Structure 1
Amino acid sequence: MDAERVDMDSDRLEQHVQRAKEAIANDKKEVPPFWINKYKKEAAKNWDIFYKRNTTKFFKDRHWTDREFEELAPKEGDQQIRCLEIGCGVGNFIFPAIAENPNLFVYACDFSKRAVEMVKSNENYNESRCQAFVCDLTIDPLIDNVPTESLDLVSALFVFSAIPPEKMQSAIKNIYQVLKPGGYILFRDYGLYDQAQIKFCKASDKKLDENLYVRQDGTMSYFFSVGDLSSRFEAEGFKTVKNEYIYRETNNRRLELSVDRIFVQAKFQKPL
């Protein structure tokens, strides 16, 4: 095994956070307003180009989701669970999830038309188990493709970080309409002070706004604190069930490289 992830010890975490705070404080140079608006306006286009260049080879399949979120794991009985994955990419969540749980039906959407086409062309795509469609969560009503209050779960894995902060509330309101009362959003994304944020700070002209950065390919990444995250979902009527940082030390033995990762993992519920 070339790489493994272990919990970060407290001393290492403290040192890492201190380095991150220093890097953020020293990152004074922001991208000019013209380019900020351009990156935000062309977000879907830039992700479409990303998938054209990388096809299905960039992200690994997510076989860990049912361990992190028990709601996705198979259970006794034959009651169907209806889930929506937002920001589905090329299907790295969808296909492992439906293979693992025979009672799971997954709607899947992405604002990259190319990514959705790759999902539909996958040999495991079967509309009796999954249905993929193109959707920009911030402007396109989900109810055009998903019945109102019909979903048990919404999977939001590393997708909100690609949405400009000022547009996140529109996406959350959109999700609220299709979740059943009592339904859950299962959330995981980049956390404040993650190693990737330090890397952005050390590069020039990557900062678009507070905790929002642009990659070389024009795609964006936002880094959440747990307080910031809860406030966004609670403002739209959700209840925070769980919200915490996940600290991981990733070791690549082959490259003799160690990277400190910080994620936020949360569960939000639509009230009964």
Structure 2
Amino acid sequence: MSDSSSTAPATAITQVTQKPEPSRARKARIDYSSNDPNEILASNRIVASPFQISKHKKDAARNWDIFYKNNKDGFFKDRHWTDREFQVLSALDTPEEGEGKGKGKIVLEVGCGTGAFVYPLLERYPSARFHAFDFSKRAVELVKNHHKHTTSRVHAFVHDLTCPPGSPSLPQQLASAPAEFWELSPPSSLSPASSSSSPAAVEGAPVELPQRPDIISCVFVLSALPPSKQAAAVQSLVQVLAPGGSILLRDYALHDQAQLRFHALPSKGYASIPSLLSGPLPSSDTPSPSSTTSTSANTDPDASLELGKPWYRRGDGTMTYFFTPEEVDGLVKDGCEEGWRMEGECSVVEMEMANRAEGWGCTRRFVQGSWKKVEV
């Protein structure tokens, strides 16, 4: 995987497969009715009602809090792979002229969870600093209660990336870091133009930051947002990024095993509340007045923007989405403010997963990308 210094303007749709041990036989985890993923997706298209969809969106923060209450810090393993996959992270301890001079770079971890990304890097790169936020209050508490937490290097806070009306903007949240976090940071700011144009900004004076993030990590985060909120969320990240900075992303890809399972096993856990949250696009040839996604009974203003999307509800109530590389690349590049552009690439990464104890295996699909912010 190339780092964010890549200057390729087009999306590179490549496949990278990591094979399991060839000497170990495996069986499929799920016995699908077809080898064609599109046929599997077509086998069950029962969609949740507009009321259920609105309720899932409204309860999103509560469901993630319950998730972290039940799993605490034992669910996610530390992400020791990040600086291997994203080579730009290996320069966290190499201050450059301008922003960050005299101290390591600043990383913004989006959807920090329990700190599985932050703390391995904190240990390996002793002069780097990390902003870390999550939608879940319980997750942020776990980050702050970690034995390696220190306010001079980790600024953890609760933030909703969709930034509903009346909530603090992302620049305001970053600026609220304690004084010891900003030591040796050079002057920096978010200009009035970029601050006012960001969907995450609120009315008022421009926000001054001693240093803007040099790197933004967004790993398995966008998929947790409703489709209608993804573009504005990415724009808020791109516009707070420092000039020359990088955005790193990994998320679920279309036709991943997790998506296929929603359609192959519809009756196991989703009989009463269907998992699919997005109905079909309207068609003049095949009207469906009885469709459960009819917007006539839906007061959600975003409902029409969320039709025809690979968007689902998990058994624990949290939501997930499955992307194409072109879709993610477009979100990042379209989110840049005037005078700047994002250079980089996105690809599908395939990985073989195996449960040796039970003797089964499956292929997982992820989208992975790295982009650099450069002046036009």
- TM-score when normalising by structure 2: 0.66
- The residue number in structure 1 matching 2:248 is 186
SS across alignment from 1:155: strand
- The residue number in structure 2 matching 1:177 is 239
**Structure 2 Cα separation of the partners of residues 98 and 74 of structure 1:** 13
Report deviation, 1:27. Answer: 2.4
Q: Does 1:235 align with 2:247?
A: no
Structure with the larger strand share? 1
**Structure 2 Cα separation of the partners of residues 131 and 87 of structure 1:** 13
Which of 6, 31, 56 is residue 18 of structure 2 equivalent to? Answer: 6
- The residue number in structure 2 matching 1:59 is 76
Checking the alignment, whether the CA contact within 8 Å between 1:138 and 1:174 is kept in structure 2 is: no
Alignment-mate amino acid for residue 141 of structure 1: S
**Structure 1 Cα separation of the partners of residues 319 and 160 of structure 2:** 15
Alignment-mate amino acid for residue 243 of structure 2: P
Report deviation, 1:235. Answer: 1.8
Report deviation, 1:75. Answer: 6.3
Judged with a 3 Å threshold, the aligned counterparts in structure 2 of structure 1 residues 18 and 271 are, in CA distance, closer, same or farther, namely farther
SS across alignment from 2:174: coil
**Structure 1 Cα separation of the partners of residues 258 and 152 of structure 2:** 38
Checking the alignment, whether the CA contact within 8 Å between 1:156 and 1:185 is kept in structure 2 is: yes
Q: Does 1:102 align with 2:119?
A: no
- Work out the number of aligned pairs and report it: 261
Alignment-mate amino acid for residue 88 of structure 1: C
Q: How does 1:243-254 map to 2 (within 5 A)?
A: 243-254=346-357
**Structure 1 Cα separation of the partners of residues 335 and 239 of structure 2:** 11
Report deviation, 1:271. Answer: 2.8
Q: How does 1:109-148 map to 2 (within 5 A)?
A: 109-139=133-163, 140-147=168-175, 148=189
**Structure 1 Cα separation of the partners of residues 148 and 107 of structure 2:** 17
Gaps of 5+ in 2: 1-16, 21-31, 96-102, 176-188, 191-211, 267-273, 279-308
Q: Does 1:260 align with 2:363?
A: yes
Which segment drifts farther, 214-223 or 24-33? 24-33
**Structure 1 Cα separation of the partners of residues 82 and 160 of structure 2:** 24
**Structure 1 Cα separation of the partners of residues 315 and 94 of structure 2:** 48
- The residue number in structure 1 matching 2:310 is 211
Encode CA deviations 1:110-138: one digit per residue, 9 max, x unaligned.
01011101110111101111110000011
Alignment-mate amino acid for residue 145 of structure 1: Q
Alignment-mate amino acid for residue 239 of structure 1: M
* Percent identical residues: 40
Checking the alignment, whether the CA contact within 8 Å between 1:74 and 1:102 is kept in structure 2 is: no
- The residue number in structure 1 matching 2:224 is 162
Judged with a 3 Å threshold, the aligned counterparts in structure 2 of structure 1 residues 261 and 77 are, in CA distance, closer, same or farther, namely closer
Encode CA deviations 1:35-62: one digit per residue, 9 max, x unaligned.
1111112111110110011111111110
Checking the alignment, whether the CA contact within 8 Å between 1:138 and 1:167 is kept in structure 2 is: yes
Alignment-mate amino acid for residue 85 of structure 2: E
Encode CA deviations 1:211-267: one digit per residue, 9 max, x unaligned.
111011110110000111112222212524020000111122222110110001001
Higher relative contact order (CA 8 A, sep 6+): 2
- The residue number in structure 2 matching 1:12 is none
SS across alignment from 2:320: strand
- TM-score when normalising by structure 1: 0.90
**Structure 2 Cα separation of the partners of residues 75 and 118 of structure 1:** 24
**Structure 2 Cα separation of the partners of residues 66 and 49 of structure 1:** 30
Gaps of 5+ in 1: 9-15
Report deviation, 1:176. Answer: 2.3
Alignment-mate amino acid for residue 215 of structure 2: L
Larger Rg: 2
Judged with a 3 Å threshold, the aligned counterparts in structure 2 of structure 1 residues 91 and 75 are, in CA distance, closer, same or farther, namely closer
- The residue number in structure 2 matching 1:92 is 116
SS across alignment from 1:30: coil
Alignment-mate amino acid for residue 149 of structure 2: Y
Alignment-mate amino acid for residue 159 of structure 2: C
SS across alignment from 1:31: coil
Judged with a 3 Å threshold, the aligned counterparts in structure 2 of structure 1 residues 33 and 101 are, in CA distance, closer, same or farther, namely same
SS across alignment from 1:146: helix
Alignment-mate amino acid for residue 108 of structure 1: A
Judged with a 3 Å threshold, the aligned counterparts in structure 2 of structure 1 residues 75 and 38 are, in CA distance, closer, same or farther, namely closer
Q: How does 1:19-30 map to 2 (within 5 A)?
A: 19-30=36-47
